[in-house]
């Protein structure tokens, strides 16, 4: 009987419905986004990767921002390059044409009570050095647990911007 009483909290904790990702810091959520993006059609961001990350892709460019910290240089076999897109647009354009590189912008992590979000924007780099954000973007949702303090992934929504 004593064993059964000790086991009940473990059984209840195991069925809280959380997903595979749990992170302790905002950078863990950003790493998760990059990792899922590089999984292509098997990841949570498969729609963002579709037509951009192909079999020939070797490099994924991420717009360099101050809020992106402690992120990997490689993920799932892809080189991840954090770069100023404006000043390197010609080089990026050439890499896109030659090597099927892909370009993305990741927004700041927004904390709203215990629901948080981060947006992933695919970017098209045009020949004349101009860049265009895609009209369909992807909002990753995270839930922040206060006890213990950690983030849980809660899905991605595709949002059409007009």
Q: Flag whether pLDDT at 155 surpasses 90.
A: yes
Please tell me the predicted confidence (pLDDT) of residue 11.
Answer: 38
**Number of domains forming the structure of the chain:** 1
Contact, 109 vs 102, CB < 8 A? no
Q: Residue 12 domain-assigned? A: no
Q: Residue 117 domain-assigned? A: yes
Q: Residue 33 domain-assigned? A: yes
Please tell me the predicted confidence (pLDDT) of residue 2.
Answer: 41
Q: Residue 1 domain-assigned? A: no
pLDDT, tens only, 98-134:
989 999 999 999 988 889 999 999 999 988 778 899 9
CA–CA dist 144, 29 (Å, integer): 11
What's the average model confidence in pLDDT over 74-94? 94
Q: Residue 2 domain-assigned? A: no
Range of the domain at 123: 20-160
Q: Residue 6 domain-assigned? A: no
Q: Residue 11 domain-assigned? A: no
Q: Residue 7 domain-assigned? A: no
Q: Average pLDDT, whole number, for the chain?
A: 86
Q: Flag whether pLDDT at 60 surpasses 50.
A: yes
What's the average model confidence in pLDDT over 142-154? 92
């Amino acid at each position: 009987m004593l064993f059964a009483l000790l086991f009940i909290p473990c059984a209840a904790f195991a069925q809280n419905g959380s997903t595979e990702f749990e992170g302790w810091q905002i950078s863990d959520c950003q790493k998760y986004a990059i990792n899922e993006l590089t999984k292509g059609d098997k990841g949570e961001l498969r729609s963002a990767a579709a037509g951009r990350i192909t079999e020939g892709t070797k490099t994924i460019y991420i717009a360099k921002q101050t809020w992106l910290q402690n992120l990997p240089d490689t993920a799932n076999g892809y080189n991840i390059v954090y770069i100023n897109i404006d000043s390197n647009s010609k080089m990026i354009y050439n890499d896109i044409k030659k090597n099927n590189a892909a370009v993305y912008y990741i927004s700041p992590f927004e904390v709203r009570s215990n629901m948080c979000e981060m947006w992933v924007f695919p970017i098209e780099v045009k020949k004349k050095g101009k860049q265009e954000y895609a009209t369909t973007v992807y909002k990753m949702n995270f839930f922040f647990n206060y006890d213990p303090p950690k983030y849980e992934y809660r899905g991605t929504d595709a949002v059409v911007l007009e």
